[in-house]
Amino acid sequence: MSRKSKEEIALIYQDLQDHICGQLELADGKGLFKEDKWDRAEGGGGKTRIFENGSILEKGGVAFSAVHGPMPEKIQSKLQVEKSNFFATGVSIVIHPKSPMVPIIHMNIRYFELDNGTHWFGGGIDLTPHYVDVNDARHFHQEVKDVCDLFDPAYYPKFKSLADDYFFIRHREETRGVGGIFYDRLSAENNSHFDQILNFSLAIGNLFPQVYSFFMKKNSSLPFGDAEKTWQNIRRGRYVEFNLVWDAGTKFGLDTNGRTESILMSMPPHAEWEYMHQTKEGSAEEFTLNHLKKGIDWLNFSL
């Protein structure tokens, strides 16, 4: 049995992008994705799809790319691999909803291969509610765990812990949101294992529109006012801080002359900064800040 080739993986990921965009358009009911195709001078390219001003979603991006060519010096030294031609493909998503009651979400799956056969998969999915809701966090983690468990019972605990460490705003000592899973450099031991990891990435990719449509439907009609919008904008400011200061993928892209607009499609439509913003005692905002911590076992969390 032979494993899927890198070209096949790119095609499969591209189909996933189509599927996800269709599902999000269906769930939103108003907005439509616009496609921005781009070529990379050194080899490959991508399709960045952007959604603006929907009925539920304010701004979102679902990007596919498949790039290849000689390995740039900076990438080589960062990845600590042999100098070789490389191939990288992936789907990357960040969605900013209109309502502060609907969480921000991020999902990314990617595959990397060198001419010499070195390869790995990476990815993750994490939820960033503007207001932490314990039931939503539990539901999200349960869905993610269920998918992980189909492939390897060790995945969820390991990748959940990696997500807590990765999606962490160090200068605030806050997690970005309620976490999820993060994995990187997951390599296959044999062909069947390879297809299993590929399928795991696809299962995460397919979980994304399902679980996010659930939150869109459930939370978008919840009431909110100006105070909640302000808080949403402050939380979006934190999202900006994480992505520009700490996110390895963003830094790497900007540092290696990546396609700026595609990398920064994760930026929110609006964000705010207020000096020393204080939350009120006993407020939902304070509850949120108190639960942006590493190591919370959301599956078994009770108040």
Q: Closest distance between a second copy and the C-beta of residue 84, in Å?
A: 26
Closer to a second copy by Cβ: residue 157 or 269: 269
Choice from 11, 244, 284, 299 touching a second copy (CB under 8 A): 244
The helix (run of H) or strand (run of E) holding residue 145 is helix 134-151
Residue 260 interacts with a second copy (CB under 8 A)? yes
Residue 28 belongs to what H/E stretch? helix 6-28
Q: Does 171 bind a second copy (CB under 8 A)?
A: yes
Which two three-digit tokens encode residue 215? 């939150």
When asked if residue 42 is in the footprint of a second copy (CB under 8 A), the reply is: no
Q: Does 251 bind a second copy (CB under 8 A)?
A: yes
Cα–Cα separations (whole angstroms), residue 301 to 237, 247, 268: 27, 27, 30
Say whether 51 sits in a helix, a strand or coil: strand
Residue 234 as a binder of a second copy (CB under 8 A): the answer is no
- Binding a second copy by CB under 8 A: which of 264, 284, 289, 299? 264
Single out the catalytic residue among 68, 96, 106, 139. 106
266, 106 Cβ separation under 8 angstroms: yes
Stretch that binds a second copy, among 105-113, 167-175, 177-185, 213-221 (CB under 8 A): 167-175
Which of 172, 218, 293, 294 forms a contact with a second copy (CB under 8 A)? 172
- Residue of the chain from 270, 286, 295, 297 that contacts a second copy (CB under 8 A): 270
237 near a second copy, rule: CB under 8 A: yes
* 75 near a second copy (CB under 8 A): no
Establish how many alpha carbons lie within 13 A of residue 52's alpha carbon, considering only the half-sphere containing its beta carbon.
10
Work out whether 263 is an interface residue with a second copy (CB under 8 A): yes
Q: Smallest gap, in angstroms, from Cβ of residue 267 to a second copy?
A: 4
Q: Which CB sits closer to a second copy, 74 or 217? A: 74
Distance of closest approach, residue 277 Cβ to a second copy, in angstroms: 9
Which residues, 6+ apart, have CB-to-CB distance to 184 below 8 Å? Answer: 120, 122, 123, 162
Q: Where are the beta strands (DSSP E) in 167-257?
A: 168-169, 174-175, 179-186
**Please, is 148 exposed, middle or buried when counting C-beta atoms within 10 Å of its C-beta (0-12, 13-18, 19+)?**
buried
- DSSP structure string for 58-116: EEEEEEEEEEEEEPPHHHHHHHT--S-EEEEEEEEEEEEESSTTSPEEEEEEEEEEETT
Query: Is 291 an annotated catalytic residue?
Result: no
273 binds a second copy (CB under 8 A): yes
What's the residue count for the chain? 303
Catalytic residues: 106
User: Interface residues with a second copy (CB under 8 A)?
Assistant: 36, 48, 50, 52, 59, 61, 170-172, 233, 237, 240-241, 244-245, 251, 254, 257-258, 260-261, 263-265, 267-276
